[in-house]
Structure 1
Amino acid sequence: MKCPYCGNDDTRVIDSRPAEDGNSIRRRRSCDTCGKRFTTYEKVETIPLIIIKKDNSREQYDRAKIEGGVLRACYKRQVSAADIQRTIDSIETDIFSREEKEIPSSIIGEIVMERLKELDAVAYVRFASVYREFKDVDTFMAELKKILG
């Protein structure tokens, strides 16, 4: 790591510990040439994931969109915030474990519905009704029968 003060390439790590966000490592370093100390943060570099939408347009993966959909589905349900976060983490883990650079939004939608079905049946039906664009009561009832049957 290059020293920000003198530009020397030879620096030593004095201390390493997890950063407050839990997703990176905080390292205290010392320059062997000028003796000054500085802090660096090390984070795993992830490959940007591209989502292929229904209209074939592409956009970068955004966790907030999944969070929004799951939160709307769970609105006024007796599902704890911790369970919701675990579900979102599980969805994200499933998406990234596929190790693909591009993934269709339809696959993400199916993963979300699968996890919501395990979390809360009403949240699942809410999400499915929007995701599958239920046109009438018959379509809605058919989905309910799948859950109950």
Structure 2
Amino acid sequence: MKCPFCNQDNTRVIDSRPVPDNNSIRRRRQCDECGKRFTTYEKIETIPLVVIKKDQSREQYDRTKIQDGIMRACYKRPISVEQIEKIIDEIETEIFNKEDREIPSTEIGEIVMDKLKDLDAVTYVRFASVYREFKDVNTFMDELKKILN
């Protein structure tokens, strides 16, 4: 592992421990040349997951797309970055635990909405309004009634 400070190859692991999601390992390293410390994460490599879009085109799964959508929905809400990361990790675990290597984007959207519903009602409605493409106030009200019941 190259040192991010001096670019030398001489680094050693000082400490290793599993990350709470149990899908990666956190390693604390120290450079033998400059003495600076840094952290790396090893993540289990998985078989690529393909997402089937609404227009039936396919693209490789991208975590940042889920993250961006949730971040927009959480804008100015009392939700911490740790809570967002935890939800994204839960969503990924659910997606990758499925047997299929292809998953419709609609299924991912439903999983995201289920997780957001438990987190924060406003965040859920914001995400649903974009995801379900509400055309008018009536469809928006229908979704609100589902939450209130």
TM-score category of the 2 structures, normalised to the smaller one: 0.7 to 0.9
Question: How much has 1:45 moved relative to structure 2?
Answer: 2.8
- Matched residue, 1:142: 142
- Matched residue, 1:45: 45
Residues 16 and 25 in structure 1, CA contact (< 8 A), matched pair in contact too: no
> Over aligned residues, Cα RMSD in angstroms?
2.5
What is the CA–CA distance in structure 1 between the aligned matches of 2:134 and 2:42, rounded to whole Å?
46
Q: Residue type matched to 2:123 in 1?
A: A
TM-score by length of 2: 0.73
Alignment of 1:24-35 (within 5 A): 24=25
Helix, strand or coil: the match of 2:51? Answer: strand
What is the CA–CA distance in structure 2 between the aligned matches of 1:61 and 1:44, rounded to whole Å?
16
- Taking a change above 3 Å as real, the CA distance of residues 43 and 17 of structure 1, as seen in their structure-2 partners, is farther
Unaligned runs of 5+ in 1: 1-14, 27-40
- Taking a change above 3 Å as real, the CA distance of residues 123 and 24 of structure 1, as seen in their structure-2 partners, is same
Helix, strand or coil: the match of 1:59? Answer: strand
- The count of corresponding residues between Structure 1 and Structure 2 is 121
TM-score by length of 1: 0.73
Unaligned runs of 5+ in 2: 1-12, 28-40
Alignment of 1:1-149 (within 5 A): 18=16, 23-24=24-25, 44-149=44-149
Q: Residue type matched to 1:77 in 2?
A: R
Question: How much has 1:16 moved relative to structure 2?
Answer: 9.8
- Taking a change above 3 Å as real, the CA distance of residues 20 and 87 of structure 1, as seen in their structure-2 partners, is closer
Question: How much has 1:100 moved relative to structure 2?
Answer: 1.6
- Taking a change above 3 Å as real, the CA distance of residues 129 and 44 of structure 1, as seen in their structure-2 partners, is same
Helix, strand or coil: the match of 1:85? Answer: helix
What percent of counterpart residues are identical? Answer: 64
**After TM superposition, where is structure 1 displaced by more than 2 Å over at least 4 residues in a row?**
15-26, 41-45
Helix, strand or coil: the match of 1:51? Answer: strand
Residues 24 and 43 in structure 1, CA contact (< 8 A), matched pair in contact too: yes
Q: Residue type matched to 1:81 in 2?
A: V
Question: How much has 1:142 moved relative to structure 2?
Answer: 0.5
